[in-house]
Amino acid sequence: MEASDSERGQRLDRVLVARLPHLSRSRIQQLLEAGAITLNDHATKPGHPVRPGDRIAVTEVPRPQTSHPEPEAIPLTLLYEDDDLVVVDKPPGLVVHPAAGNWTGTLVNALLHHATTLSEGGDPVRPGIVHRLDKDTSGCLVAARNDTAHLRLAKQFAAREVLKIYLAAVRGVPRHASGSIDESIGRHPRHRQRMTVVRAASGRNARTDYKVLRNFGTHSLVECRLHTGRTHQIRVHLQHLGHPLCGDAVYGRDPGEWPRLMLHAWKLGFHHPTTQKWMVFEAPIPEDFRRAGLEPLP
C-alpha cells in the first residue's frame, strides 16, 4: 500500500491502525518491531512519520496450527453471568475474536479462560460470539454459553428486538438536537475497507436515532440508538451528518489528542434466552471518556 497525501506526517502505526482495522495497535507494534512491516523496504519504528508515496508492506501473518483459540488470562469486567450467557464490559483496544493478525489476545481468548463452556455458533474461532464491537469501541457485549442460548439471542439481533444505545463524541455540534438518520450503508467503491452511505438499491438499510446530550462547542456528546447493526453504522451515519466521531482516523481526520475512537456501547437490552425476562445492562462510563468530560448530565 502507499501512503496518501492526507496521511502526510502521521505516525506509521496510526496509519496502519486506520488501514488495517482487523489488527490491534499492540499487534501492529509487535509486527513493526519484528520487521514484519516495512516502510520503503526497510524496518522502521511505530512512530516514524509517513510521507505521500511511501510504500508500506505487511508480511503475511501465519495462522496458528490449531483452528481453536486457546484460553488466556486476560482481565475481564463482567456485568452479568449465568448458565446461558455472560455480559462483559469490553475495554477499548481489545479485538473481539481471532482473525488474521490477531490469533491471540482477543476477547474470545479471555472468555475461554473465564467460562468453562461457550457456544460453538458454527465457527470454531468465534465461540460464544453473538455480535461484535469494533476493536476501539468499549462497552456492553453479550456472549452465549450454549448453542440454544446463542440461537435465541441471534434471532433477537436479526429481528431488531435488541436495545442498543451508544455514547459517541463527535466533532462539532449537530444542527438539530435530535433526529433519525435513515440511510442505506454499503462498501465504499474505492476504499474497500470502508463503508459509506449508498443508494438503497445498492446497500443495506440502516437507521440510527441520535440525541445531543452535551454541547462543548468544538465537539458534542451524542446518544445513538441503533435500530440495525451494519458495519461501522454509527461512524458512517454521523460522518454523513457532517460530524465524524472524535478519534476516528478512518471516517474523520487525524485523531489529534483523542486517545481512541470515542464510542462506547452504553446500554444493551434483550430477552433472556431461557426465562424470556427483559434485561437491560449498562456499562460504566470509561475512564478516558471521564477525563475528557464526556459524561451525561444527571
Please say whether the beta carbons of 204 and 185 come within 8 A. yes
CA distances from 207 to 24, 93, 204, 234, 284 (A): 28, 26, 10, 9, 25
Catalytic residue among 54, 134, 136, 248: 134
Give the DSSP letter string of 46-115.
Answer: TTPBP-TT-BEEEPPPPPPS-SSPPP------EEEE-SSEEEEEEPTT--SS-BTTBSSSSHHHHHHHH-
The residues, ordered by sequence, that sit 6+ positions from 2 with a Cβ below 8 Å of its Cβ are: 52, 53, 54, 55, 56
Total length of the chain: 298
Please say whether the beta carbons of 245 and 235 come within 8 A. yes
Residue 182 annotated among the catalytic residues of the structure: no
Please say whether the beta carbons of 149 and 273 come within 8 A. yes
* Cell numbers linked to 130: 453473538
Please say whether the beta carbons of 58 and 100 come within 8 A. no
The catalytic residues are 134
